[in-house]
Chains A and B, each alone.
Chain A
C-alpha cells in the first residue's frame, strides 16, 4: 500500500494568516482549502505542498464565526473562500475577489451547512463477543461450520 506522509497541524483561528504567511515564505504552494461539516462546527483544512511534502493547517470554527481571508498571502485562495461562503454559509472576511454569494448558482442556500448536511451516526461500540458473532455470520452465510484460527 502506497502511503504518502501527510501532516495535519491543528491551529487556532487567530494564528491562521500568520502561519499561512510562514508557509508562503518557505515556498509552499496552496493546494486547496477543504471545509468539512461537523456536528456543531466546521473544520477547515488549508493544504500546502512543497517538493511533494503535503501539509495541512486545520482550524475549527463555529457557524457564526468569521474566518480571516488568506488572499492577501495566496491570491488564488479567493475561489476556495467564495466556495466556502456559498456552500457552507461561513463568513470570510476581506476576500480579494468577493462574489458576495454569487459564485455558486444553487437551488438551496448553503447546502453544506450544519442544518442541511445529514452526518452519519458512528457505529455503537460493540463488546468483543458480539463482534466475533457478526464475523462468523458474514464469512459463512451458507451455514458451514466456521474454522477456528
Chain B
C-alpha cells in the first residue's frame, strides 16, 4: 500500500507548545512516527556558569510554568543533599503542600485542555474556572500565581499561618465537590468514553521497558511514584500510587482525576501534621559532591542532577524531565493507531515541551 508522511505540529490546535511528528501512514493507519523536538531549546542548564548555586533556584523555577515549584524543590533537594543541609520539618511540610497544589493545578489544566481537544469546550471552561481557586491560593501564600519562587536552598522563603492553612483545607474540601461534578462528566459521558477507551493502548511491559513515568506508567499498571521514596514530608503521609490497568487514553484520564482527590487528601494530612518551627536554615559554604534528586512531578519522575567541586558555581546541572522519558512510549502508542486519534494520544501523555526544552 502507498505510504504517506503527514507532518503533525509543531503548530497544532491541541499543542500549546511546539513538538513535531512525521507520521508515516498507510491509508488512515499510522505505521511509524518520528518525533522532532527542540524548537525552543533554551540551554538553561548551562546558566550554572553565570549564577551561583543559591541564585540558580530562580532559573530552576523558570524551567516550566506548570511545574515551577517542582523544579525548584528538586534542585534545592539535590543541593541540600550534597551539602548535608538539614531542612526544618515545617519547611518540608510546606514544600509538600505547594507541591500537591501544583499537581492539582496541573492535572485540572490538563483535563481542561483534553476536553477542548475532543471538542467539549464548556468542560474546558469549567476546568479552568476550578483551577483558578488553586492559583488564588498560590497568590495568597506565595505572592505569585505561576512562578512561585518560594523554595530556596535550606527551606522556603515564606511561612503559611495556621489560619490560612485551615482555610486551604476548607477550600480544597469545597473544591472536591466541584471536582466531582466535573470528574463525573469525564468518567460517565458516553462521547468521552467512546473517544478515549481502547485508544492509544500501552501495555504494562512496554511502559516499563520504554522508561515510562508518571500517570502514563501508572495508567498501564505500574506502581511507580517517586513520592513513595519519602522526600519532603511524604515520609510522614499516606502516599498510595493511583494505578489503573487498561493502559489506554481513558485510563490515563482516570489516573489524573483520582490523583486530584489523592492530592487533596495529602494536603489535608500535611496540614494536620505540620509542626511549628523555623522554615529555613542558613546555608554556608558551597556544594562539593553530586546527587540525583528524584521528585514526582505532575507528569512523572523528574531528575535533577547537580555536581559541584566546592565552588559557588556548579560544575553541572542536568534535568531529565518526564516528557523526555515518555516520548519513546508515545511513538509506540502511535504506531497502529488511527490518524484521527493522534491528537488525543499525544495529549494524554500531557507533554510539557517547556520542561523538555529546558
Chain A nearest Cβ from B6, distance in angstroms: 19
Interface pair A117/B46, CB less than 8 Å apart: yes
- CB within 8 Å of B: which of A25-61? 29-32, 34, 36-37, 45, 47, 52, 54, 56
Interface pair A2/B230, CB less than 8 Å apart: yes
Q: Which residues of A contact B320 (CB under 8 A)?
A: 31-32, 34
Cα–Cα distance between A76 and B331 once the two chains are bound (Å): 10
Stretch from A10-18, A62-70, A118-126, A140-148 forming part of the interface with B: A118-126
Interface pair A112/B208, CB less than 8 Å apart: no
**Cβ of A100 under 8 Å from chain B:** no
Residue of A nearest to B223 (CB): A51
Interface pair B292/A111, CB less than 8 Å apart: no
Stretch from B184-192, B246-254, B260-268, B302-310 forming part of the interface with A: B302-310
Interface pair B36/A103, CB less than 8 Å apart: yes
Cα–Cα distance between A32 and B300 once the two chains are bound (Å): 13
Residues of B within 8 A of A (CB): 34, 36-39, 41, 43, 45-46, 49, 77, 80-81, 84-87, 208-211, 228-232, 235, 284, 286, 291-292, 294, 301, 303, 305, 307, 309-316, 318, 320, 324-325, 327-329
Residues of A within 8 A of B (CB): 1-4, 6, 29-32, 34, 36-37, 45, 47, 52, 54, 56, 74-76, 78-79, 97, 102-106, 111-112, 117-123, 138
Interface SS of A by simple majority: loop
Interface pair A76/B210, CB less than 8 Å apart: yes
Residue of A nearest to B226 (CB): A52
Q: Which residues of A contact B292 (CB under 8 A)?
A: 6, 34, 47, 54, 56
Q: Which residues of B contact A79 (CB under 8 A)?
A: 324, 327-328
20 contacts between A and B (CB under 8 A): A1-B84, A1-B86, A2-B77, A2-B230, A4-B229, A29-B208, A30-B211, A31-B301, A52-B229, A75-B210, A75-B328, A102-B36, A104-B38, A104-B41, A106-B43, A111-B46, A120-B309, A120-B314, A120-B315, A123-B311
Q: Which residues of B contact A4 (CB under 8 A)?
A: 229, 231, 294
Residue of A nearest to B292 (CB): A6
Q: Which residues of B contact A2 (CB under 8 A)?
A: 77, 229-232, 235
Chain A nearest Cβ from B319, distance in angstroms: 10
Interface pair B38/A103, CB less than 8 Å apart: yes
Interface pair A118/B49, CB less than 8 Å apart: yes
Interface pair B46/A123, CB less than 8 Å apart: no
Residue of A nearest to B39 (CB): A105
With A2-B235, A3-B81, A37-B316 in contact, is A54–B211 under 8 Å at CB?
Answer: no
With A1-B81, A75-B210, A122-B310 in contact, is A54–B294 under 8 Å at CB?
Answer: yes
